[in-house]
């Protein structure tokens, strides 16, 4: 029996929240297949697309992985600090960046659809 989109989204979010590091779509698929062996990759990709469109998950473009949204950003910019050593991701509210980003891109009449800032480096534990 096929699951409804809301139930599928809850399943994927549960998998994402249970992991303390970013997950690829195929890692999510592997986790879901333990209880639902017939689930296919397109189902996971469609679900992740819906979750990112809703702002309930973030796609880390630079490493092609996903994390659950841990902040509330209706009109803000998620700032994701990615540790290149251990892989942890800290999410910050970059609301104060939005006017500056809008002004910067507005110089060329560019209209942004979404804003995500990814910063790579070392977390406090790895830098110590």
Percent of the chain with pLDDT over 90: 69
SS (H, E, C) 65-118: EEEECCCCCCCCCEEEEEECCCCCEEEEECHHHHHHHHHHHHCCCCCCCCCCEE
How does 100-119 read in b/e, with b if 16+ C-beta sit within 10 Å?
Answer: eeeeeeeeeeeeeeebeeee
Of 40 and 116, the one with more pLDDT: 40
In whole angstroms, what is the distance from residue 62 CA to residue 82 CA?
Answer: 10
- pLDDT score recorded for residue 112: 84
Binding-site entries for Fe cation = 115
- pLDDT score recorded for residue 75: 66
Give the model confidence (pLDDT) of 87-119 as tens digits.
Answer: 999 999 888 988 898 899 989 999 888 788 999
- pLDDT score recorded for residue 74: 62
* Structural domains of the chain in order of their starting residue, each with its CATH number: 5-68 (1.10.10.10), 78-121 (3.30.1490.190)
Binding-site entries = 83, 86, 115, 123, 126
- Provide the token pair at 2: 């096929």
pTM: predicted TM-score of the whole model, two decimal places: 0.85
- Provide the token pair at 57: 């998950």
Give the model confidence (pLDDT) of 58-95 as tens digits.
Answer: 999 999 999 999 877 666 788 999 999 999 999 998 88
Binding-site entries for Zn(2+) = 83, 86, 123, 126
Using the predicted structure, report yes or no on whether residue 1 has a pLDDT greater than 50.
no
């Amino acid at each position: 029996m096929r699951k409804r989109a809301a139930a599928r989204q809850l399943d994927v979010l549960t998998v994402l929240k249970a992991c303390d590091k970013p997950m690829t779509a195929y890692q999510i698929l592997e986790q879901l297949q333990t209880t639902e062996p017939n689930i296919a990759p397109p189902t996971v990709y469609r679900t992740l697309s819906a979750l990112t469109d809703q702002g309930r998950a973030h796609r880390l473009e630079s490493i092609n992985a996903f994390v659950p949204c841990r902040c509330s950003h209706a009109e803000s910019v998620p700032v994701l600090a990615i540790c290149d050593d251990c892989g942890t991701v800290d999410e910050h509210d970059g609301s104060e960046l939005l006017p500056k980003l809008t002004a910067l891109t507005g110089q060329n009449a560019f209209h942004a659809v979404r804003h995500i800032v990814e910063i790579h480096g070392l977390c406090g534990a790895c830098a110590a």
